[in-house]
Amino acid sequence: MELWPWLTAALLLLLLLVQLSRTARFYAKVGLYCVLCVSFSAVASIVCLLRHGGRTVENMSIISWFVRSFKYVYGLRFEVTGRSKLDVDGPCVIISNHQSILDMIGLMEILPKRCVQIAKRELLFTGPVGLIMYLGGVYFINRQRARTAMTVMSDLGDLMVKDNLKVWIYPEGTRNDNGDLLPFKKGAFYLAIQAQVPIIPVVYSSFSSFYNVKTRLFTSGTIRVQVLDAVPTNGLTDADVTQLVDTCYQSMRDAFLQLSKTPQENSDVNEPAIVPAQ
């Protein structure tokens, strides 16, 4: 029995559904994103192994080149302010808000040199994706074992100073698309104080106008990115962590809410009030 007519019919039906149904388009685009991640990770792994021979932060420039190409497939644009603030000579901890699977594209769009990420250990076992993360120098922590995670973070604090590394962490700890920021976990801040390195907050505007899991929306869109001023930790101790968390959280939340406003909302805020003539 010939399968080609059935396969052709199934493909045509899928294309029709994608055209007619927003839900179908959403899942088709998410599926394509997963396929791109797996296939590009496999190719990038080969390039990294041929270029550098194994696990090294230098592979991140190769990974970044591959991932940044995703934005052209999905029609995403980035408007970045303060990018130069990431070009510090020494080590630092970079923190940013965490919204969806698209965060990886945003991260790679502005990734500075010699920067590694912290990721949950489960991602290490995701085939080519886990392999490319390992080759790029990503540090994996087991969130189910607090003591093990603390040991990894402590070792990383020494290593980032020794090897002049920047470390990128999502302090919310999980994806969040509720239109605000979740409370921050303290690991990134303990790490910065231990190493006595500055914290650089990075804020991405809300994706909700073009990517929304609840409403099955996935279209092209513009992402506004703002790199905030570095927060020094020189002289701080563990006793200062709570205040440090509060300071970073408030500045990032203010920036997030401002960036996520529509241009019309921003113009309404900035427009001076009209005072009636007396």
In a domain, 12, yes or no: no
Alpha carbon distance 46, 72 (integer Å) = 23
**Per-position pLDDT tens, the chain of length 278:** 466 666 566 566 556 665 657 888 898 899 999 999 999 999 999 999 999 999 999 999 999 999 999 999 999 999 999 999 999 889 999 999 999 999 999 999 999 999 999 888 899 999 999 999 999 999 988 766 666 666 777 788 888 989 999 999 999 988 888 889 999 999 999 999 999 999 999 999 999 999 999 999 999 999 999 999 999 999 999 999 999 999 999 999 999 999 998 655 555 545 544 433 43
In a domain, 278, yes or no: no
Q: Give burial (CB, 10 Å; 0-12/13-18/19+) of 58.
A: middle
Q: Computed from CA positions of residues 256, 262, 263, 264, in that sequence, does the dihedral angle turn out positive or negative?
A: negative
Full domain range(s) for residue 208: 22-261
Is 2 a domain residue? no
On whether residue 234 sits in a domain, the answer given is yes
Tokens of 275: 């005072």
| Domain presence at residue 199 | yes
Q: How far is CA 37 from CA 47, 135, 206, 255, in A?
A: 15, 15, 22, 30
Count structural domains, the chain. 1
Asked if residue 17 belongs to a domain, the reply is: no
Beta strands at 221-227 and 199-204: parallel, antiparallel or unpaired: antiparallel
Q: What is the model's pLDDT at position 276? A: 39
- The CATH number given to whatever domain includes residue 30 is 3.40.1130
Let me know how long the chain is: 278
Tell whether 266 is covered by a domain: no
CB atoms within 10 A of CB 34: 12
The predicted structure's pLDDT at residue 46: 97
Q: Which pLDDT value is given to residue 20?
A: 59
- Whole-structure pTM value: 0.86
